[in-house]
Structure 1
């Protein structure tokens, strides 16, 4: 897979500017997740009310990259999705309380891209996917397919929200809430390749955060292992 990263934006609690992320990439650590809300003030107040924190994360990183691009296919990847919202629904079920149709409709995995399509008035092809440890690379496969079919650009967003405490024993791959958006265009600046692998060192951080570290550090190659797969990112420019 060959492509060009035309633009990127990332967000985590306390990490918004490029300087914030550069400092974090030089000395990565778990940042306190105090339920800080990403800024989506570019949306009207009535539209913001329907957005969960995870949705706000996507809109915050993706909206500026989409400005001026025209119709733009979107690939959204999140392994866990709307965990706070689904837990609230499960609690209501356990108590025998009636479920909110609105809360249920907004809890499904493709609800966020539906809201994105409505608010941007964009009916381009959009995909919501859930993948395990190599969700970033699986999303890149989907985005590369769209580019190969002739899309002039594709927006890729991967986001995870720190799950409620009840899930702590079961979800160990989200050190803190984060979102990463990449504006991808055809080109040969980057190559992503896949090869079988019997074993490899597990990544110290989720793959999107490792990619950010590589980009800020000027690395030319980055290797990710997941189960029996080895993904290699290569920067090709001179």
Structure 2
């Protein structure tokens, strides 16, 4: 794949760390549905609501390497133990669980999509957000990235993700700055020292929070992000 370079207009963003001492506030969701949500979906819905609560219609891109894998793993364990599988657990175990709930809660039928691309999931989600908005800027695009490490049953996962959720509202009409993104092809040398950030989510969050450049190095490519104030 050739090198890529693009910029997205950022209206606002929100981050929820996995290590937070309190649970995400999802009080905008009715109690019965709220009780059924996983920790991952709660974090994703919280940051999504932070960014788009006052936006009438928004296209959603949900990105996650593992998605609701932990819920799926619990279902597989129930099957292995000959226990009854909860229909609710099954219906909430798909990758794009969050997008369905978000649309239902908002009464918003605007298009939604979900993607997963291994350790580079967030980077390609930012590219998808750019492509969708560049094609049609009439409706804002909400990128929601949420992930958590895989269950220990799966063993060691190379370039494992960190927990947490990040949402970015892409909208030029309300932008506060521009996020410059770049992907350059290149194979990591066997003895190469890892970049400053262990995951893409940590690098992007650092760039947005500190307004400074950040980088993440994968096995086959390098990713860089840079913040620019204003329009």
TM normalised by structure 1 equals 0.81
Q: Select which of 1, 7, 10 maps to 2:15.
A: 10
Does residue 217 in structure 1 map to residue 222 in structure 2? no
Measured against aligned partners, the alpha-carbon deviations of 1:132-191 in whole angstroms (never above 9, x if no partner) come to 11111110111111101213421111111244443454476234x311111112478232
Does residue 140 in structure 1 map to residue 126 in structure 2? yes
The aligned residue for residue 26 of structure 2 is: 40
Q: How many pairs does the alignment contain? A: 217
Q: Superposed, which structure 2 residues align to 1:110-149 within 5 Å? A: 110-149=96-135
- The CA deviation at 1:57 is 0.6
Cα distance change, pair 139–91 in 1 and its aligned pair in 2 (3 A): same
TM normalised by structure 2 equals 0.83
The aligned residue for residue 25 of structure 1 is: none
3-state SS, counterpart of residue 179 of structure 1 = strand
The aligned residue for residue 94 of structure 1 is: 80
The aligned residue for residue 24 of structure 1 is: none
State the distance in 1 between where 2:84 and 2:121 align.
34
Q: Superposed, which structure 2 residues align to 1:146-161 within 5 Å? A: 146-151=132-137, 152-161=139-148
Task: Structure 1 unaligned segments of length 5 or more: list them.
Answer: 16-33
State the distance in 2 between where 1:136 and 1:13 align.
16
